[in-house]
Structure 1
Amino acid sequence: MDMEVGLITKRSDEVEMIYMEKLMNFVHQHELVEEDYGTHFTTDEVFPSREDLLEWVRRVAYRLGFVIVIIRSDIANGKQGRKTYVLLGKPIGKGQGWVLKVICGTHNHDLYDTLVGHPYAGRLKANEHSMLVDMTKSMVKPSSILRTLKENNEDNMTTIKQVYNARYSYKRSVRGPRTELQQLMMLLDHDNYLHWSTCHESSNIVSDIFWTHPDAVKLLNAFNIVFLMDTTYKTNKYRLPLLEIVGVTCTGLSFSAGFAFLSSEKEKNFIWALQKFRGSLLTSHVGPEVIVCDRDLALMNAINIVFPKARNLLCRFHINKNVKAKCKMLVDSVEAWEVVMDSWRTIIDCTDIAQFDEFVKSFETICSPWPLLVEYVKNTWIIPHKEKFVKCWTDSLMHLGNTTSNRVESAHWSLKRILQNSMGDLCSCWDAIKDVIILQHNEIKASFEMSLHVIGHTFNVQLYKMLVSFVSKHVLILIAEEFDRVNDVGF
């Protein structure tokens, strides 16, 4: 309680009397008086089971402002302590039900205004705990779990901290005595994932892990022309980068071909992961024709070493983004920005090698007031990497329209949407990846069936008669677009 004590500078009987009167009033106001609540629990109802009886008693107690706990009966040994209710439930006969008898119903302290925050009142019931486990498996946010619990039970007193604790206890019970890494390996084995791991050179500590879904192996062997690779962050509390490799099906959908937790983004780590991807997953000795990634020099070097015959393309979207950011940094006029970026787009969209040098010289002339911008564009992009992003070189490759890393970026987004935060362990991350893969494969299977059995009016003509049900609908659309283009411009 808060009591304000003033400094008494002049002692007198009158002052002391006033002070004592205020003190006695405070004591009387907060005096604890016993009250009998037994009548609220008096009932002639016969309950079908012990659980039904307890549920009814707890519901009544909640309305009164306290909770009922099951403890041993008081033995009246004279020891100081809180007097509790004594309720006795007993069966009235074999299979005939349960009745309630109140022996003592007095309470010797004030009742609480609310039970929110009291640990016992917030305990989860069996059905609520089962609901929490199911929602945790489905990667539902703790806040959404709590909201669902309260929507299903208006008397629920559970707090968000208790939800977090229950989730943690469940995950610990699933893991048992195993370490986190042992649990991850067990999960990979249980679901028949193909996986490999490597250790640090000077110890037996696992440094990198690579794995892929068994169905993804079938997909990447069937569709091994183009792959996209990129690392993402903020997927686990250990801050391990996650390398994801994405492929493209004949129906135009993306699939996750492989994942790897890496201890660092050094060239040797990427080489190890790509070697596992190449040697253990690809049935052909040719390997992919095109690999798209960002300008990660370590990853690019690893691609050239592991897949020397594959053409490595760089993401045009991120190149444009970087050049635009540099332009805004060095060019002080908004009108000049547009002129510079138009000239840059002319370079990367050049379709004739003979005109490429001319477009570069034009860009240099326009950007002559800003030599640092010209130096950045030439030394960072044009001289070392022009064959990896300029159309006159990339259009000669079978990249199937993949000139950016958008597919793998989209895969990262899908994963992080399920992950919710970056503080989970490796097993939580794997659970999210597993859910993403299940959704991916379900959508891919549906697209295959649609290509086999659903024929659009556009393709129900003699021209496509030999292709329908043998070529995917996505490819038929591309053929139709190309046919229309030929009709417009001629052969």
Structure 2
Amino acid sequence: MDSSSPTIQNEELYLANSKFDSYDELLKSVRDFYYVKGYGISIRDSSKDKYVTLQCDRGGCYRDRLSIGDKRKKNTGSRLISCPFQIVGKKEYDGGWILKAKNLSHNHEPSTDISRHPSFCRLSPNDVQSVKNMMLSGIPPRQILSSLRQGNPNLPAVSRTIYNLKAKIRKENLGNRSTVSALFEEFEKEGFIYDILHNSIGHITHLFIAHPLSIKLAKAFSNIFIMDCTYKTNKYNMPLLDIIGVSCFNTSFYSGFVFLEREDEDSYIWALSVFKKTLENREPSVIMSDRELALMNAINMVFPNTTNLLCIWHIEKNVLANCKKHFPHTEEFDIFMSSWNNVAYSTSKTIFEHNWGEFELFYQTKKVAIEYIKKTWLPWKEKFVSAWTENYLHFGNRSSSRAEGAHAKLKQYLQVSTGGFQDVTKKICLAIKHEFNEIKVKLASERIQILHNCDAPVFRELLCHISHFALKEIHMQYEKIKKGTMTPCTSHFMATMGLPCAHKIKHLEGMKLSLDLIHPHWRIDTICLNSEDDLHNDIGAKEFDELLSELSSRYQIWPQSKKEFANSMITQLLTESDILFEPLIRRPKGRPPKSKNKRGINSTARDPSRFEFVES
């Protein structure tokens, strides 16, 4: 542009006559002045207490910082066209700021719509702080933007503004630390118990994490856990073993998470061994899982006194997926599945043998289907058939549906499947703190509330001492006595639920039910979730303190050579540090997408199961 034009003269007057009290005031004034003219202003370089060089935001040229080859370059462009416009702001001795022109010409026409210039989309400091707060709460970028626009309908920002700001905040939080160092510091800050395995070149291959609130709940309710892997949770494509506990309210909670390089027996043994330490070597009564042989073997090795039950729902769906093709008519297959369920839910070993014999005889022409069931499921009948499972204390849990629900809830927090360990851990923290607070509030509530239908003398000693869920279960048994709907006693209810059945209640002949009849799992008067004394867990801390004390006392009587050896060993422990890296990104399971532009690459939604394809 010609320097004699009215626009340039107007600029020169503005620059010559303007003085500002602060750097921020100067920056805001210059941007507002040039926005009206159709130009965006960016900072070229600055020293906040000395000077700032401002340029047109189309100044400079595109630089391939990552040296990406032509084939890998994204199909995008650049707004940079080496516009020469520059002005300089300087701080004077009195603290004020002035402006001086360096080059007021542009090599392009002004924009008729300034809204897509990055400097125009920039958020105010207050808005930036709001974004940070909403990020910590796990709110998605699109909802963050909607929230900001509630307060300012004319907000110039777009979705990309929020994504870029999130990336900038993450980079600032990381500072000069490596990703793994920052992760471990986050674990220390939150009080996590964690453990890792890494390969020979320092890449993490396995990561176990347990939040202190999860450990508190797991210790309080350590009788049953459900274990199941979920996928599409992290950018490394690592399976995530989700360990789910069951509270006295019959609600689920996260007990621990394990990122695995492989779903093999050694990986599961390591994961379960670390989890066992968080439980202070307690062994659950029951662990529920799918028919994952590597996991089943690991459970048997790490928890030899624990009963491993198989999910009856998944068994039914596997039978459906593998057997439906042998039945051309839907009605015939429905009868087959009903007959199979009759076998699976046999209430005694004798009834099971009878039902299986009839089932096998009736479908002798369906040899492939029968052979599949005989080879795949019958060897594990003690782990899913009611005749056996109803003798174990599983508190009514016959399936791993809790795990499916927990996976879904976790993925609502994760939002995408492309997060690293730090991002995933922060979202896990949000989920755990939410569910812990829900259980804590429910505990306080049920300690002072009395169910109207249980306000009778027979329940008097149980009120406010056991959960409402347990009370309702007992009340249903009591109603069977009143309505005359009792069936012959099998002892299954007491064995599986740890609560008195209708026959036991009737035998008491109107006497008050005692707390001695209630399994400790259902008690709400014996657990405390308020104290934070034990939130910072440290496996082996007591043993370590004892060793230090003994070392200190023995050190005094050792000869000098042994003292020097001890000092060198301790010094080596204190100074050595492993250089660790994030996991290598694994190729995910399944067929790769046909198109590079295929949508949903960051989706956490699980892939359909085989039975869903069969049913569709």
SS of 1:453 mapped into structure 2: coil
Write the deviation string for residues 331-385 of structure 1: whole angstroms up to 9, x where unpaired. Answer: 211111211111111111211221212222332244334221111111111x211
Percent identical across equivalent pairs?
Answer: 33
Q: 1: CA distance between counterparts of 2:265 and 2:91?
A: 73
Q: What secondary structure sits across from 1:260 in the alignment?
A: strand
Check the 8 A contact 1:226/1:248 in 2, yes or no.
yes
Q: Can you give the 5+ residue segments of structure 2 that lack an aligned partner in the other structure?
A: 44-51, 56-81, 487-502, 504-616
> Deviation string for 1:24-45 (max 9, x for gaps)?
xxxxxxx999564988999x9x
Displacement of 1:456: 2.0
How far has the Cα of 1:386 moved from its partner? 0.9
Task: Confirm or deny: 8 A CA contact 2:38 2:110 kept in the other structure.
Answer: yes
Tell whether the 8 Å contact from 1:34 to 1:106 is kept in structure 2 after alignment. Answer: no
Aligned: 1:199 with 2:169: no
237, 240, 265: which one pairs with 2:238? 240
Instruction: Report the counterpart of residue 274 of structure 2 in structure 1.
Output: 276
Q: CA deviation at 1:188?
A: 1.1
Q: What does residue 163 of structure 1 align with?
A: 162
**How far apart, in 1, do the equivalents of 2:291 and 2:140 lie?**
35
Q: 1:198 to 1:256 in 2, by over 3 A?
A: same
Matched, 1:314 2:310: yes
Equivalent-residue separation in structure 2 for 1:451 and 1:218 (angstroms)? 19
Query: Which stretch shifts more, 139-148 or 390-399?
Result: 139-148
Q: Is the 8 A contact 1:89 1:98 kept in 2?
A: yes
CA RMSD of aligned residues (A): 3.7
Preserved CA contact (<8 Å) 2:227 2:287: yes
Aligned residue in 2 for 1:118 = 117
The residue type equivalent to 1:298 in the other structure is: A
1:387 aligns with 2:382: yes
Structure 1 CA distance for aligned equivalents of residues 125 and 174 of structure 2 = 21
Return the TM-score normalized by structure 1.
0.80
Equivalent pair of 1:388/1:394 in contact (CA under 8 Å): yes
Partners of 1:486 and 1:349 lie apart in 2 by 25
Specify whether residues 125 and 139 from structure 1 end up closer, same or farther in structure 2 by C-alpha distance, changes over 3 A only: same
- Contact kept in structure 2, 1:212 and 1:259, CA below 8 Å: yes
Paired residues of 2:224 and 2:246 also in contact (CA < 8 A): yes
For the residues of structure 1 that align with 2:21 and 2:173, how far apart are their CA atoms?
35
Q: Summarize deviations over 1:136-188 as a string: whole Å, max 9, x none.
A: 22222233334444454444443434432321221122122222222221111
Indicate the residue corresponding to 2:348 in structure 1. Answer: 352
**1:225 pairs with 2:226:** no
In structure 2, the residue matched to 1:420 is 415
Task: Report what 2:257 is aligned to.
Answer: 259
CA 108–249 in structure 1, closer or farther in 2 if over 3 Å, else same: closer
Q: Do structure 1's residue 343 and structure 2's residue 370 form an aligned pair?
A: no
Specify the SS of the correspondent of 2:227.
strand
Q: Shift of the alpha carbon at 1:90?
A: 11
**Partner residue of 2:478 out of 469, 483, 486:** 483
Deviations 1:434-476 (A, max 9, x none): 1111011001101111121111212222121111121122211
Matched residue of 1:489: which SS? coil
Whether 2:54 is the aligned partner of 1:67: answer: no
Tell me: CA distance 1:402–1:83, structure 2 relative to 1, closer, same or farther (3 Å): closer
Query: Aligned letter for 1:172?
Result: K
User: Within 2, Cα distance between the matches of 1:116 and 1:170?
Assistant: 23
Structure 1 counterpart of 2:130: 131
Task: Render the CA deviation track for 1:275-332: whole Å, top value 9, x for unaligned.
Answer: 1122342364xx1111100111000000011111111111111111111122322221
In structure 2, the CA distance between the partners of 1:108 and 1:228, relative to structure 1 (3 Å rule), is closer
Partners of 2:290 and 2:310 within 8 A in 1: yes
Change (3 A) 1:401 1:117: same
SS at match of 1:258: strand
Partner amino acid, structure 2, of 1:219: L
Once the two structures are TM-superposed, the CA of residue 210 in structure 1 deviates from its matched residue by 1.6
Deviates more, 1:155-164 or 1:453-462: 155-164
The question of whether the paired residues in 2 share the 8 Å contact of 1:32 and 1:110 is answered with: no
Distance (Å, rounded) in 1 between the aligned partners of 2:139 and 2:449:
35
Compared CA separation, residues 484 and 158, structure 1 to 2 (3 A): same
- Which amino acid counterpart does residue 346 of structure 1 have in structure 2? N
**Which among 367, 370, 377 is matched to residue 374 of structure 1?**
370
2:285 equivalent in structure 1:
289
Give the distance between the partners of 1:127 and 1:98, measured in 2 at CA: 24
Give the structure 2 partner of residue 211 of structure 1.
209
Q: Is the 8 A contact 1:225 1:290 kept in 2?
A: yes
Q: 1:111 to 1:316 in 2, by over 3 A?
A: same
Work out which of the residue numbers 451, 456, 471 in structure 2 matches 1:456.
451
State the match for 2:184 in structure 1. Answer: 185
User: One-letter code of the match for 1:416?
Assistant: K
Query: Retained in 1: the 8 A contact 2:174–2:182?
Result: yes
1:54-93 CA-partner distances (Å, limit 9, x unpaired): 657645654553335676599xxxxxx97969899999x9
Choose 1 or 2 for highest CA Rg.
1
Q: Which residue of 1 aligns with 2:427?
A: 432
Q: Which residue of 1 aligns with 2:394?
A: 399
Question: Does structure 2 retain, via aligned residues, the 8 Å contact 1:37–1:107?
Answer: no
Report the CA distance between 1:237 and its aligned residue.
Answer: 0.7
Q: Secondary structure of 1:291's match?
A: strand
For the Cα contact (< 8 Å) 1:451–1:472, is it kept in 2? yes
d(CA) in 2 for partners of 1:47, 1:311: 75
What 5-or-longer segments of structure 1 have no aligned partner?
Answer: 1-30, 75-80
Number of aligned residues: 448
Kept in 1: contact 2:198–2:204 (CA 8 A): yes
Q: 1:461 to 1:204 in 2, by over 3 A?
A: same
Superimposed CA distance per residue, residues 70-119 of structure 1 (whole angstroms, 9 cap, x where no aligned partner)? 76599xxxxxx97969899999x99xx9999x9x9998953312224323
Give the distance between the partners of 1:312 and 1:283, measured in 2 at CA: 17
TM-score, length of structure 2 as denominator length: 0.65
